[in-house]
Amino acid sequence: MKPAPFAYLRPSSLEEALAALAGEQGAKVLAGGQSLVPLLNMRLAAPSMLIDINALPDLGHVRVAEDGVRVGALARHAEVLASSEAERAQPLLGMALRHVAHPTIRNRGTTVGSIVHADAAAEMPMVLRLLDGSVDVASVRGRRTIPAAELFAGPLESTLAHDEVAVEAFFPGLAPDAGVAFQEIARRHGDYALVGVAAHVETDGDAVTRASLGFVSVSDVPVVVDVTHALGDPAAKALAELDPADDIHASAAYRAHLVKVLAPRVLAAATDHARSRAGEATQP
Amino acid sequence: MTTEQLHDVRLHVNGSVHEVQVPARRLLSDALRHDCGLTGTHVGCEHGVCGACTVLVDGAPMRSCLMLAVSAVDAEITTVEGLTEDDGSLSPVQQAFSDCHGLQCGFCTPGFLTTITAGLRETPDPTEDEAREMIAGNLCRCTGYQNIVKSVLRAAEIEHERSDA
Ligand SMILES: Cc1cc2nc3c(=O)[nH]c(=O)nc-3n(C[C@H](O)[C@H](O)[C@H](O)COP(=O)(O)OP(=O)(O)OC[C@H]3O[C@@H](n4cnc5c(N)ncnc54)[C@H](O)[C@@H]3O)c2cc1C
Ligand code: FES
Ligand code: FES
């Protein structure tokens, strides 16, 4: 199968890219192409124009600051994963990225592209949502920051306007007395998860003061469930809010089963992680 | 019907320059095979799953079926044809596949060879688990993988033998 014809632009400045995008209703951004090109090849997408952002300058960064990790639109999954500084600031990045496809796909696919592709079966949109991160977008009309809670509109649909390019994602760093964990069940490592669950836990001494779970592949959009008051049975609380579906990969009942298995396990792992970090932080 | 616009693209493949004229929708895999005449790169699924089309882009393995030729202009591409030694003899990974029967029909082989060549640069002394991990993104319908895993381990040995010699 081959893509339908389209016009192609490879701008060398962001301004040029934004002007072109604003001027062509049927245009789409091409980043790593690891989601878009399969859709083109299968003719599930037929944009009139592709605006290839791979030659834009200054978007390949993985920058770690006090408050967290900033990932530029051209940073490949592999580059984010390779940053030990980023992993130290926010360990959930590495934990989840190891499950994003195979290394060969990660060499080309971008983390920001994955987020704005807004696939509820993908790890990184959920991670951004669980950590309450955000995405910075630019258009000819200016720049704005979209909080993760407002980023996902529906299946494979973000709230970016047609003329907007995502330039950077921001993942908040992990507080010293907080912990995270991630696990998923897939047919083979590297495949999309049948179910994936991440946990983010905040502690004060021995007490868990806040706990939330993020889910992959059990809903239409990346979902986060607050389980602070359901530490004894987080899966029941989660399943009351989730709507696992049947597809060719797994039945809804099997997905619900996996939620029941993974939710308590991941919550416990994140709680241990928080306690060990808090222990390290108070050591002289 | 309007004729489709063609783009002049200069591809750098295996140390040579190929000037080709292609529509924007030409996949890199097809450009290599049809426009450059390098049919060593195979095409199986065209959605990134099988790995047969894997080439090295600036040294890193990538799916050529998920790249557009027009988007590959700034890159140095290595296909399976570019893996042989300067004197035309087999590279360590190619030699190991021959020694260990790492292929049967050979359809998947170019993708394995490119992937493993890059993998051994990063992990020169893989354990068996690391060898399996290295090839986890490539499908083979013939061999059952056992001999491919052996080939990875043997290739690492050959690399060492050659660099000691
Ligand atoms: C075999 C295979 C297995 C995979 N397995 C997984 C997996 O297990 N988990 C997972 O999460 N992903 C998986 N992926 C998808 C992969 O992570 C993609 O890299 C990612 O989803 C998209 O990033 P990209 O840079 O390739 O985006 P592209 O494919 O270039 O773009 C995707 C979409 O986002 C838009 N877009 C991209 N960047 C921007 C931007 N900066 N601004 C505005 N719009 C933009 C595009 O217009 C397009 O609509 C897999 C892919 C393959 C081929
Ligand atoms: S043809 Fe490219 S991965 Fe199958
Ligand atoms: S040797 Fe036939 S597919 Fe691998």
* A216 has pLDDT over 90: yes
Segment A67-86 shows an average pLDDT of: 98
CB distance B12 to B74 below 8 Å = no
A101-112: pLDDT as tens digits: 999 999 999 999
Alpha-carbon span A115 to A126, nearest angstrom: 8
Phi, psi of A200 (to 5 degrees): -130, 120
| Chain B residues close to A37, C-beta within 8 Å | 27, 48, 65-68
Task: Name every residue whose Cβ is closer than 8 Å to that of residue A149 and which is 6 or more positions away in sequence.
Answer: A129, A132
What number is the average pLDDT over the span A176-184? 97
Q: Do B27 and A33 touch (CB under 8 A)?
A: no
Q: In chain B, helix, strand, coil percent, each to 5?
A: 40, 20, 40
CATH of segment(s) A62-172: 3.30.465.10
Residue from the list A2, A5, A108 with its beta carbon closest to the beta carbon of B66: A108
The stretch B130-155 carries a mean pLDDT of: 97
* CA distances to A8, B73, B105, B126 from B132, in Å: 39, 33, 20, 9
Q: Chain B contact for A37, CB < 8 A?
A: yes
* Class of domain B6-82 as given by CATH: alpha beta
Q: What is the mean pLDDT of residues A167-187?
A: 97
Confidence at residue B1, expressed as pLDDT on a 0 to 100 scale? 52
Residue A97: how many CB atoms within 10 A of its CB?
Answer: 23
Q: Nearest C-alpha of chain B: how many angstroms from A245?
A: 24
Residue B51 near residue B94, CB atoms below 8 Å: no
Q: Is B105 on the interface with A (CB under 8 A)?
A: no
Closest-approach residue (CA) in chain A for B61 = A104
Q: For ligand 3, say whether the CB of B139 is within 6 Å of any of its atoms.
A: no
Residues of A in contact with B66 (CB under 8 A): 33-34, 37-38, 108
How far is the centre of ligand 3, averaged over its atoms, from the C-alpha of B44 (Å)? 11
Tell me which chain A residues have a C-beta less than 8 angstroms from the C-beta of B6. Answer: none
Burial per residue of B129-141, b for 16 or more beta-carbon CB atoms within 10 angstroms, e otherwise: eebebbbbbbbbe
Q: What is the pLDDT of residue B3?
A: 82
Tokens of B1: 């019907």
CATH of B92-164, one of 1.10.3720.10, 3.40.50.150, 3.30.870.10, 1.10.150.120: 1.10.150.120
Q: Domain residue spans in chain A?
A: 7-55, 62-172, 178-277
Encoding tokens for residue B141?
Answer: 């319908």
pLDDT digits (tens, 9 = 90+) for A32-58: 999 999 999 999 999 999 999 999 999
**The CATH number of A178-277 is which of 3.30.390.50, 3.40.50.1970, 3.40.50.1780, 3.40.630.20?**
3.30.390.50
What mean pLDDT is reported for chain B? 96
Q: Which of A223, A254, A251 is nearest to A237 (CA)?
A: A223
Residue A116 pLDDT > 90, yes or no?
Answer: yes
For residue B41, the surrounding DSSP H or E stretch is none
Q: What is the pLDDT of residues B103-142, one digit of tens each?
A: 999 999 999 999 999 999 999 999 999 999 999 999 999 9
Question: Is-contact A170 A64, C-beta < 8 A?
Answer: no
Q: Closest residue of B to A11, CA-based?
A: B71
CATH architecture under which domain A7-55 falls? 2-Layer Sandwich (3.30)
ipTM of this complex prediction, to 2 decimal places: 0.95
The residue extents of the domains of chain B are 6-82, 92-164
